[in-house]
Amino acid sequence: MQATYDIHRSYEENYQEGPFITERPPARSPVSKQTFLGFSVHSLLGVPAGPLLNANWILAYADLGFDLLVYKTVRTVATPSHPNPNCMFLNVYQPLVETDFGHPLMASMTPPTSKEMISITNSFGMPSRDPKLWQADIAKAKAGLVSRGEGQVLIVSTVGTPGQGDLAADYAKAATLAVEAGADMIEINLSCPNVVTGEGSVYTDPVFSAQISQTVKKAIGTVPLIIKIGYITNPLTLAEMVRANAPHVDAISGINTLSFEVVNSNGTSALPGRLRSGVCGAAIRQCSMNQAGRIIQLKQKEKYDFAVIGVGGVMTTSHIREYQNLGVDAVMSATGAMWNPWLAYDWALASAAS
């Protein structure tokens, strides 16, 4: 079962040599443009931060028909990836629910027989090139998208790094550098289960997350700002987080991965040195849809003015439709788009037939 990201290779090998695509779908037929945060786009389907490691990955997925393209999270300082292995399949074939939290999951290198059932664990630690390198690469990605014509947007995911002074200011610095390089939109990553420092759990703190959002928005001005959040079990905390951030953001994207203890068949950590890691793919779809639905309800009740991006477990065109039926403004697929690069093409066909 081939994927664009080779889990048997290191992060660096995938960065330098990927994506591993042997076939591309036919060019899609002209479609009526839609609008997302003020930009005219071919579709409201994209790839979230994670799989799109650099300009080569951005442009490859643009050619595959994904139109909202999120450049993998960058920092103001060069940061290495966690060591290989970084990604494994999970022996999980049903939706994870909150009663599963706190129980370990089992991983292996053996994929399920169906792409629709793929769930993975991953742990990279939000690696980043030096800003001078990623700024040049973002400029390359932007130029490549411009050459393809209107209809696709470059979103750059950024994060602050502890130890670089005020964390909110470092978030803003990273975002400003990304805008200077050519980002159409900025996403600030407030959620990552694969780092042990504070930037990975900011989304659980309504006050501090809003401070970061406000600081970044002030720095980037009219450039649309998206926040990426993780799963919040307490509805009151979710409501507080949304309320605090709503005045400063143009969109809320979620979820990131779910955090679980992941083990081998012998009970040891599946990813050496990392007891917990992120879980994504088919298994998290129900949790992600539940949270997206809650945010939409809050938005409608309080009349908030931001878009909602549904992310998590989107493996098929029917899953895209399920998210749309919730009322999200856009949908993104990571694991699904990695193991089915033709997902956007399939969605274009399904949309034309509906």
pLDDT digits (tens, 9 = 90+) for 207-232: 999 999 999 999 999 999 999 999 99
Is 192 tagged catalytic? yes
Contact 286, 97 (CB under 8 A): yes
Question: Is the pLDDT at 199 greater than 70, yes or no?
Answer: no
- 50, 330 Cβ separation under 8 angstroms: no
First to last CA, the chain: 30
**Bigger pLDDT: 37 vs 193:** 37
What's the mean per-residue pLDDT of the chain? Answer: 94
Q: Of the listed 87, 192, 280, 287, which one is catalytic? A: 192
**pLDDT digits over 38-75, tens only?**
999 999 999 999 999 999 999 999 999 999 999 999 99
Q: Which domains does the chain have, with CATH numbers?
A: 11-82+124-231+238-257+305-353 (3.20.20.70)
Residue type, 54: N
Residues 154 and 183: beta-carbon distance below 8 Å: yes
* CA 48/CA 157 separation, integer angstroms: 9
Which has the minimum average pLDDT: 251-260, 271-280, 307-316? 271-280
The helix (run of H) or strand (run of E) holding residue 56 is helix 55-63
Q: Is the pLDDT of residue 194 over 60?
A: no
Question: What is the reported pLDDT for 354?
Answer: 79
- State the DSSP string of 272-316: TTBSEEEEEEGGGHHHHHHHHHHHHHHHHHHT---EEEEES---S
90, 133 Cβ separation under 8 angstroms: no
pLDDT at 201: 83
Per-residue pLDDT at 325: 98
